[in-house]
Chain A
Amino acid sequence: MSNENMLSRRGLFMKVGMLFNGLVATALALPIVRFLFSSVTRGHGNGYFSWVSLGRISEFPEGETRLATFRNPYVMPTDGKTVDTACWVRRIEGDQFQVFAVNCAHLGCPVRWFPQSGLFMCPCHGGAYYRDGSRASGPPERGLFEYPHKVENGLVTIQAGELPTPGLSAALTGKKPPCAG
Chain B
Amino acid sequence: MRQIGEWFDRRLQLAAPIRDAAEHPVPRNTASWWYVFGSAALTVFLLQLVTGILLALIYVPSASEAWSSLQALNHDVTLGWFIRALHGWGSNFMVAIVLIHMVQVFLFGAHKFPRELTWIIGVFLLLMTLGMAFSGQVLRFDQDAYWGLGIGASIASRVPVLGPAIVKLMLGGPIIAGATLSRFFALHVFVIPGMLIGFVCLHLLMVLKLGINEWPMPGRLVKRSTYVTEYHELTKKEGAPFVPYAIWKDLFFAAFILLAVAGCALYFGPFGPTGRPDPTIIQTVPKPDYFFLWLYALLSLLPPSLETPALLIGPVLAIIGLLLLPFLSGEGEKSWRRRPIAVLTVLLTAITLGTFTHLAGFTPWSPHMNAWSGDPVPERFVHGATALQRQGALVFQAKQCRNCHSLSELGGQRGPALDSVAVRLTQDQLIRQVIQGGGNMPAYGKNLSPAETTALVAFLATLHPAGQAPARDAARDLVLKESGTRP
**Of B62, B150, B169, B278, which is within 8 A of A107 by CB?**
B150
Contact present for A121 and B175 (CB under 8 Å) = no
Given A108-B154, A166-B158, residue A116 in contact with residue B175 (CB < 8 A): no
Using a CB-CB cutoff of 8 Å, which residues 215-274 of chain B contact chain A? none
Contact present for A139 and B300 (CB under 8 Å) = yes
User: Is B279's CB within 8 Å of the partner chain A?
Assistant: yes
Contact present for A121 and B151 (CB under 8 Å) = no
User: Is B366's CB within 8 Å of the partner chain A?
Assistant: yes
Q: Which residues of A contact B465 (CB under 8 A)?
A: none
User: Is A48's CB within 8 Å of the partner chain B?
Assistant: yes
Residues of B within 8 A of A (CB): 62-65, 146-147, 150-151, 153-159, 163-165, 167-169, 171-180, 182, 276-280, 282-286, 296, 299-300, 302, 304-305, 307-308, 365-367, 369, 372, 398-401, 403, 414, 437, 440-444, 446-447
CB distance from B406 to the nearest CB of A (A): 14
**Taking each of B62, B155, B164, B400, which has the highest tally of chain A beta carbons within 10 Å of its own beta carbon?**
B164
Segment of A2-10, A22-30, A51-59, A130-138 in the binding face: A130-138
**Taking each of A86, A123, A167, which has the highest tally of chain B beta carbons within 10 Å of its own beta carbon?**
A167
**Chain A interface, >50% SS class:** loop
**Of A39, A167, A168, which is within 8 A of B172 by CB?**
A39
Q: Which residues of B contact A137 (CB under 8 A)?
A: 437, 440-442
CB distance from B279 to the nearest CB of A (A): 5
CB distance from A157 to the nearest CB of B (A): 18
Nearest to A86 among chain B residues (CB) is: B280
Tell me the bound Cα distance from A123 to B285 in angstroms: 6
Q: A141-B307, A141-B308, A167-B164 are in contact. List 14 more A-B contacts (CB 8 A).
A: A72-B175, A80-B277, A81-B64, A82-B146, A82-B178, A112-B369, A121-B367, A128-B442, A130-B443, A136-B437, A136-B443, A162-B175, A165-B154, A165-B164
User: Is A13's CB within 8 Å of the partner chain B?
Assistant: no
User: Is A18's CB within 8 Å of the partner chain B?
Assistant: no
User: Is A143's CB within 8 Å of the partner chain B?
Assistant: no
Q: Which residues of B contact A40 (CB under 8 A)?
A: 165, 168-169
Contact present for B178 and A78 (CB under 8 Å) = yes
Residues of A within 8 A of B (CB): 37, 39-40, 43, 48, 67, 69, 72, 74-86, 102-103, 106-112, 114, 116-119, 121-126, 128, 130-131, 136-141, 161-163, 165-168, 171
Contact present for A124 and B446 (CB under 8 Å) = no
Contact present for B367 and A107 (CB under 8 Å) = no
The 10 closest A-B pairs by CB, nearest first: A80-B64, A167-B157, A167-B163, A136-B442, A108-B150, A78-B178, A165-B157, A110-B282, A48-B174, A118-B447
Q: Which residues of B contact A141 (CB under 8 A)?
A: 304-305, 307-308
**Of B176, B278, B296, which is within 8 A of A163 by CB?**
B176
Given A72-B177, A80-B62, A166-B157, residue A140 in contact with residue B372 (CB < 8 A): no
CB distance from B181 to the nearest CB of A (A): 8
Contact present for A167 and B282 (CB under 8 Å) = no
Given A43-B168, A76-B177, A136-B437, residue A107 in contact with residue B155 (CB < 8 A): yes
Given A124-B286, A167-B164, residue A80 in contact with residue B178 (CB < 8 A): yes
CB distance from A89 to the nearest CB of B (A): 13
Contact present for B157 and A85 (CB under 8 Å) = no
Q: Which residues of A contact B176 (CB under 8 A)?
A: 82, 163
Tell me the bound Cα distance from A52 to B174 in angstroms: 15
Contact present for B179 and A39 (CB under 8 Å) = yes
Tell me the bound Cα distance from A140 to B154 in angstroms: 12
Nearest to B277 among chain A residues (CB) is: A82
Q: Which residues of B contact A119 (CB under 8 A)?
A: 400, 442
12 A-B contact pairs sorted by A residue (CB < 8 Å): A78-B64, A80-B63, A103-B154, A107-B299, A109-B147, A116-B372, A117-B372, A117-B403, A121-B403, A123-B367, A138-B365, A138-B440
Tell me the bound Cα distance from A124 to B301 in angstroms: 12
CB distance from A56 to the nearest CB of B (A): 19
Contact present for B369 and A82 (CB under 8 Å) = no
Tell me the bound Cα distance from A81 to B302 in angstroms: 34
